[in-house]
Structure 1
Amino acid sequence: MLELRRLNKSYASGHPVLSELSYTFHAGEFVAIMGDSGVGKSTLLNLIAGLDHPDPGEAAPILVDGVPMAALDDDAATKLRRERMGFIFQAFHVLPHLTLLQNVALPLLLNGLSQERAAEMLAAVGLGGRDHDYPHQLSGGEMQRVAIARALVHRPALVLADEPTGNLDPDTAHSVLQLLRTEIRASGACTIMVTHSEAAAAMADRTLILTRAGLCEAPQLKRSRP
C-alpha cells in the first residue's frame, strides 16, 4: 500500500533528518511510530502526504498504491491526497465557520460523492443529532471526533495521524483511539499514527521506532489507557 525506498530528507540548513529510509506498510494495518523529538516523525508524515519533498536521490522514494509521489505534479498530488488519504492532526483543523455536518462532509463534497455518509459518520463518533452545531460548541475530545469522522468519511486507503491524542485527557484519548481503531478496521485503511505515548501506541497493531538509523520494530506494548 505504501512503500518507502531509500528516502532522504534534510533541513534547510543541510542537516539530515531522514537518511536512506526504507519500509513497506500494508493495507489494513494500524502502525504507530514513536521516537525522540526532532527525529523526523512529523516530517515523515508530511513527505508521505506530498506536503513536503524529499531530497534528490532515489527516483521513486515514496509510492502510494504503486504510484510514485515524485512523478505527480501539484494538481495530481492534490487529487491523490483528496481521494486516497485522510488526515488527523493534533490541532484538529476543524473549520470554525462550518457546522459539524459540513466539516465532515467536506471530503465528500470535494470528491463529488454523495454527502449522506457524513451524518452516518457523525453518529458513529457519538455526535449524532448535532449536525448543525459549530466547533465552538464542542470540547477538545469532541472536536477530535469530528476530525476522525472527516478523515474517514470518504473511505481513504491511507490514514495519517499526527499525535491525535496529544491535547486530550487520558479518558478521552482512550475513547478516541478505540473509535479510530474500530473505524479503520471496518474500512480496511492502512493507518500510520505518530505518537509520543506508549499507551496510545499500544492500541496499534504494531509499533515502530524511528531513529537516525531508520525504522525498527518496537517490543510489544501492553494496551492501557493513553
Structure 2
Amino acid sequence: MLELRKLYKSYANGHPVLSGLSYRFRAGEFVAIMGESGVGKSTLLNLIAGLDHPDAGPGTPILVDGVAMASLDDDAATKLRRERMGFIFQAFHVLPHLSLLQNVALPLLLNGMPQQRAADMLAAVGLAGREHDYPQQLSGGEMQRVAIARALVHRPALVLADEPTGNLDPDTADAILRLLQREIKASGACAIMVTHSHAAAAMADRTLILTKEGLQETTSVNALAQ
C-alpha cells in the first residue's frame, strides 16, 4: 500500500530530520508511530501526504499503491490525496463557514459520491443531532471528532492521523480508536497514527518507534512507558 525508499528530509536550517528512511506499510493494518518530540513524526505524515516534499535525490522515496508521489504534478497529487487519503490534522482544519454536516460531507462532494454517509459518520463520533451547528459552537475535542469523521467518510485507502486523540477524554478516545479500527478493517485501508499516547498506540496492530536510525518495531508498548 505504502512504501518508503531511502527518504531524506532536512529542516530549513539544514538540520537533518529523516535520513534514508525505508519501510513498507501493508493494506488493512493499523500502525502507530511513536518517538521523541522533534524526531520527525508529523513531518513524515506530511511527506507521505504530499503536503511537504522530501529532499532532492535519486529514486522514488514515496510510493502510494505503486505510484511515485514525486512523479505527480500538483493537480495529480491533489487528486490522489482527495480520492485515496484521509488526513487527521492536529490543528483540525475544520472550515468555520461550513456546518458540521457540510464539513464532514466535503470529501464526498469533491469525489462525486453520495453524501448520506456524512450524517452517519457524525453520529459515529458522538455528534448526532449537531449536523447544523458550526465549528465556533464546538469545544476542541468536538472539533477533533468532526475532523476524524471527515477523514474517514469517503473510505480512504490510506488514513494518516496526527495525534487523533490529543484533545479527547479517555472514554471518547477509546471509542474513536475503536471506530478507526472498524473502518480500517471494513475497507481494507492502511492507517498510520502518530501519537504520544501509549494507550492509543496499544490499540494499533503494530507500534513503530521513529529514531535517528529509522523506524523500529517494538513488541511492547507498555515497556515504552516505563
Q: TM-score, normalised by structure 2?
A: 0.93
Aligned residues of 2:155 and 2:187 also touching (Cα < 8 A): yes
Matches within 5 A, 1:143-222: 143-221=143-221
Point out where structure 1 has 5 or more consecutive residues left out of the alignment.
Answer: none
Aligned residues of 1:9 and 1:16 also touching (Cα < 8 A): yes
Q: Identify which range, 188-197 or 178-187, moves more after superposition.
A: 178-187
The code of the aligned residue for 1:14 comes to G
Matches within 5 A, 1:127-142: 127-142=127-142
Cα distance per residue 1:95-129 (max 9 Å; x no partner): 12211110000011111222122122222222223
Aligned residues of 2:164 and 2:195 also touching (Cα < 8 A): yes
Q: 1:175, CA displacement in angstroms?
A: 2.5
Q: 1:181, CA displacement in angstroms?
A: 1.8
Q: Which residue of 1 aligns with 2:9?
A: 9
Matches within 5 A, 1:26-105: 26-105=26-105
Point out where structure 2 has 5 or more consecutive residues left out of the alignment.
Answer: none
Cα distance per residue 1:203-222 (max 9 Å; x no partner): 11110000000000012335
Q: Which residue of 1 aligns with 2:113?
A: 113
Q: 1:200, CA displacement in angstroms?
A: 1.0
Q: Identify which range, 199-208 or 143-152, moves more after superposition.
A: 143-152
Q: Which residue of 2 aligns with 1:24?
A: 24
Q: 1:169, CA displacement in angstroms?
A: 2.7
Aligned residues of 2:41 and 2:210 also touching (Cα < 8 A): yes
Measured in 2, the distance between the counterparts of 1:78 and 1:220 equals 37
Aligned residues of 1:7 and 1:58 also touching (Cα < 8 A): no
Q: 1:130, CA displacement in angstroms?
A: 2.2
Cα gap change, 1:221 to 1:159, in 2 (>3 Å): same
Cα distance per residue 1:133-155 (max 9 Å; x no partner): 22233333322221111001111
Q: Identify which range, 11-20 or 180-189, moves more after superposition.
A: 180-189
The code of the aligned residue for 1:3 comes to E
Aligned residues of 2:155 and 2:183 also touching (Cα < 8 A): no
Measured in 2, the distance between the counterparts of 1:212 and 1:218 equals 16
Q: 1:198, CA displacement in angstroms?
A: 1.1
SS of equivalent to 2:221: coil
Measured in 2, the distance between the counterparts of 1:129 and 1:170 equals 23
Aligned residues of 1:6 and 1:22 also touching (Cα < 8 A): yes
SS of equivalent to 1:24: strand
Aligned residues of 1:160 and 1:192 also touching (Cα < 8 A): yes
SS of equivalent to 2:32: strand
Aligned residues of 2:121 and 2:149 also touching (Cα < 8 A): yes
Q: 1:186, CA displacement in angstroms?
A: 2.0
* Aligned Cα root-mean-square deviation (Å): 1.4
Aligned residues of 2:144 and 2:167 also touching (Cα < 8 A): no
Cα gap change, 1:115 to 1:121, in 2 (>3 Å): same
Q: Identify which range, 167-176 or 19-28, moves more after superposition.
A: 167-176
Aligned residues: 222
